[in-house]
Structure 1
Amino acid sequence: MRNHHRFAVVTGASSGIGVAYAERMAERGYDLILIARRRDRLEDVAKRITTKATRAVEIVTADLADAKDLSRIEALITEREDIDVLINNAGLGALGPTSQVTADALENLIKINILALTRLTHAALPGFLRRNSGTIINIASMIAVMPTPSGAGYSGSKAYVLNFTRSLQMELAKTSIIIQAVLPGPVRTEFFEASGLAAAPFPNELFMSAEQLVDTALQALDQGELVCFPSLENASLWTGFEDARIALSRALMQSGRPATRYLEKAQ
């Protein structure tokens, strides 16, 4: 990722991973557009960043689950020609057994984790394609490849983020636009508290700080690693997973007939 003294947009920028990305992008020489619901938090983040670096920091309050607010942010991204980086970090958990999570909470999760991420990416792409440059970082989760009985909506939404990002990588392979998916494990943020859990369902030693996560993900980006599992020591496990997926995909395209095992049972 090269610095052209242009803007990086960070959603969910008032806490945790979003703050860490904002700080690191400022250190890399980017001016910032920080988006979140809580203006007081955004002002604190902006003040902290501008005292450390001579960077322009614009703050925009918006609830990305609100259609009008989302449209406003889409217009901002579409109209500006000085945006080089979009970091889709805003996300919700709505954790717990699906029967015990409210339908409204699940809908809100889908609006933030899927709809907002998709629409903001879509808003950024025309400008990036015109300039044949730009970077989009989508924050998924390791749970994207780990279905769980206590986070069906969350797992499903992050599987969408992974597949959406991987498909965009294929679409844009012949351009200079970079799309990265980051799939963290547990991170020390307000995430579990905001999801309504009294305590995180993981031992403390599995947690990474937001700063460690962002530093790792940006190092991966610099190295050309477009699907980043920050805590995965053995990278061959991911390549093996991908090889198995490709083999399955090829096997699924061999025939349009029912598999033999179903025909045998029907006889």
Structure 2
Amino acid sequence: MATRSTVLITGASSGIGATYAERFARRGHDLVLVARDKARLEALSARLRQESSVVVDVLQADLTQSSDLAAVETRLRDDAKIEILINNAGVAQSGGFTEQTAGSIDRLVTLNTTALTRLAAAIAPRLVKAGEGAIVNIGSVVGFAPEFGQSIYGATKAFVLFLSQGLSLELSPKGIYVQAVLPAGTRTEIWERAGIDISARTDLMEVGELVDAALVGFDRRELVTIPPLHDAARWDALDTARQGLLSDLRQAHAAERYRAGP
């Protein structure tokens, strides 16, 4: 049997990342697991080796730290066995915009956008050269819902969607599949870490259901996968409307309504 590609997963010690690791291990993929909590990574890797007989490497890293991020980039550039990147690491926002500190803003933006982009940039040239591979970016429906009230977090997730769509246009002709996964509320530790109490929430998806749905989208090669969305035509209509704007935006003059008086 041909050896399956290795998958590198960030934020792999718990939640969505750990569940992705379990699912890919069951499929027979070797893994590189990246997170800050080495003890949890080691426990997860030991279990997956035993359950699925795959090779699991652990790479402890805080992706907001430049040296740690650089180490993961090096692994992605140099390890030809890694053909799938799951860009999952992220942090949520607790409180409104005026409650954020410079440090909390910097960490959120760095982890949710800068680190994700740099890791994709590290692996993409090698995948293009090979003519195959996949990059999966975990975003959020909050990225197109400012009404949800998490302005900075939502902005970072809007970035993830835009970046994924742009990368798909650029890289798919070269054999690279790029998927944006947009969960709604999911029952993971990200809430607790942000200081948000979810004990009374009844509208959160279980993480296993979320990842299983995302993998159905992955296998179907969907460009944007929104697990909680029952009517896929609603996303298609939104995207079609967006594309319909493009020809109207390429104009040499301001619209008539802006040339009139008050």
Report the TM-score, using the length of structure 1 for normalisation: 0.94
CA-CA distance at 1:176 after TM superposition: 1.7
Contact 2:77 2:123 in 1 (8 A): yes
Contact 2:180 2:223 in 1 (8 A): yes
1:203 paired with 2:205, answer: no
Q: Report the number of matched residues.
A: 261
Alignment partners' CA distance in 2, 1:148 and 1:9: 34
Match of 2:162, SS state, is helix
Alignment partners' CA distance in 1, 2:5 and 2:258: 58
- What letter matches 2:100 in structure 1? V
Q: 1:216 aligns with which of 202, 213, 217?
A: 213
CA-CA distance at 1:122 after TM superposition: 0.3
Contact 1:10 1:86 in 2 (8 A): yes
Name segments (4+ residues, structure 1) moved above 4 Å. none
1:237 paired with 2:234, answer: yes
Please list, as runs of the form range in 1=range in 2, the aligned pairs for 1:69-218 lying within 5 A after superposition.
69-148=68-147, 150-199=149-198, 203-204=201-202, 206-218=203-215
Alignment partners' CA distance in 2, 1:4 and 1:227: 28
- What letter matches 1:102 in structure 2? T
- What letter matches 1:257 in structure 2? H
Unaligned ranges ≥5, structure 1: none
Contact 2:76 2:119 in 1 (8 A): yes
99-108 or 160-169: which moved more? Answer: 99-108
Aligned pair in 2 of structure 1 residues 84, 154: CA closer, same or farther (>3 Å)? same
Alignment partners' CA distance in 1, 2:210 and 2:122: 26
Unaligned ranges ≥5, structure 2: none
CA-CA distance at 1:210 after TM superposition: 1.1
Report the TM-score, using the length of structure 2 for normalisation: 0.96
Contact 1:95 1:154 in 2 (8 A): no
- What letter matches 1:135 in structure 2? A
CA-CA distance at 1:149 after TM superposition: 6.0
Contact 2:128 2:171 in 1 (8 A): no
| RMSD, aligned CA | 1.4
Alignment partners' CA distance in 2, 1:172 and 1:5: 22
Contact 1:165 1:179 in 2 (8 A): yes
Alignment partners' CA distance in 2, 1:261 and 1:129: 46
Alignment partners' CA distance in 1, 2:154 and 2:99: 16
Q: 2:252 aligns with which of 240, 252, 256?
A: 256
Aligned pair in 2 of structure 1 residues 199, 214: CA closer, same or farther (>3 Å)? closer
CA-CA distance at 1:94 after TM superposition: 2.0
Contact 2:84 2:135 in 1 (8 A): yes
- What letter matches 2:136 in structure 1? I
Q: Which residue pairs with 1:38 in the alignment?
A: 37
Alignment partners' CA distance in 2, 1:173 and 1:56: 29
CA-CA distance at 1:103 after TM superposition: 1.8
Alignment partners' CA distance in 1, 2:27 and 2:209: 16
CA-CA distance at 1:5 after TM superposition: 2.2
CA-CA distance at 1:198 after TM superposition: 2.9
- What letter matches 1:260 in structure 2? E
